[in-house]
Amino acid sequence: MLPVLLLLTLVELGSGLVLGRFESTLLRYPSLLVLVPVTIGTAGNLGSILAARLSTAFHLGTLSFAPDDETLAGNALATVALAASIFPLVGLGAWGLSSLTGSTSLSPWTVLAVSLSSGLSLAVLAVLVTVVATYTAYRLELDPDDVVIPVVTNTCDVLGVVLLYFAVLVFV
């Protein structure tokens, strides 16, 4: 457990270093800082839910790694739909709460654009990462329950921060 944990900690420090790159922007606009934990949390959750479902389907023998596989395509579709439902709330919630607790110099539309664009692109990448990780575990004859969920959760954490960084570069 401990070696894996330390490796995952190093992976997460990678996303911390990305945060460090736009620290001054985050400190200038509190609504973007409010976005950080909720983006990381939602990103990791989207990945871990998908990974858990694909692992179970894999154990039950109902999953085949083909693009027209119903389980695979249905879960991928649900992940994107979940991101499309949750990330608007993430953006508006972050803007609303920071305007309640202090000042916001960004418009709600900017914060919404940042969270929705990073969230939707994250959902697509989360699907790719999860499918590749589950397939790799299957080829290496590892139990996907043990390996895939921590790998996917932490990778999605990092991807969430990286995509947040790009969205801030584009919209702020």
Partner 1 sequence: MTIDEVAVEAYREALPALGASLVGGLLAGVVLGGMRSDLRAVEGLLVLVPALLATRGNVYGSLGARLATGLHQGLIEPHVRGGDRRLRAAAAAALVNGLVASLFAATAAFAILSLLASPVAELGRLIGIALVAGLLSGITLVVVVVTVVFAGYRRGYNPDTLVGPLVTTTGDVFGVLFLLIAVRTVALVLGGI
Q: How far is the CB of 25 from partner 1 (least distance, A)?
A: 12
Residues 6 or more apart whose Cβ sits within 8 Å of residue 142: none
Virtual CA dihedral for 75, 137, 16, 78, nearest 10 degrees? 0
Minimum CB distance to partner 1 smaller for 117 or for 155? 155
Minimum CB distance to partner 1 smaller for 6 or for 140? 6
Asked whether position 16 contacts partner 1 by CB under 8 A, the answer is yes
Asked whether position 170 contacts partner 1 by CB under 8 A, the answer is no
Tokens of 152: 């996917």
Calculate the CA 59 to chain-centre distance.
24
Minimum CB distance to partner 1 smaller for 102 or for 169? 102
Residue with tokens 């664009």, as numbered in its chain: 117
Phi, psi of 163 (to 5 degrees): -70, -35
User: Taking CB under 8 A as the rule, which mask of x and - marks residues 62-81 in contact with partner 1?
Assistant: --------xx-xxx-xxx-x
Residue 29, phi-psi category: left (phi > 0), alpha (psi -120 to 50), beta (remainder): beta
Q: What is the rounded distance in angstroms from the CA atom of residue 169 to the CA atom of residue 172?
A: 6
DSSP state, residue 172? -
Asked whether position 147 contacts partner 1 by CB under 8 A, the answer is no
Residues 6 or more apart whose Cβ sits within 8 Å of residue 159: 43, 122, 125, 126, 129
Asked whether position 38 contacts partner 1 by CB under 8 A, the answer is yes
User: Taking CB under 8 A as the rule, which mask of x and - marks residues 86-115 in contact with partner 1?
Assistant: x--xx--xx--xx--xx-------------
Interacting residue ranges for partner 1, rule: CB under 8 A = 1-2, 5-6, 8-10, 12-13, 15-17, 19-20, 23, 26-27, 30-31, 33-42, 44-46, 48-49, 53, 70-71, 73-75, 77-79, 81-82, 85-86, 89-90, 93-94, 97-98, 101-102, 150, 153-154, 157-158, 161
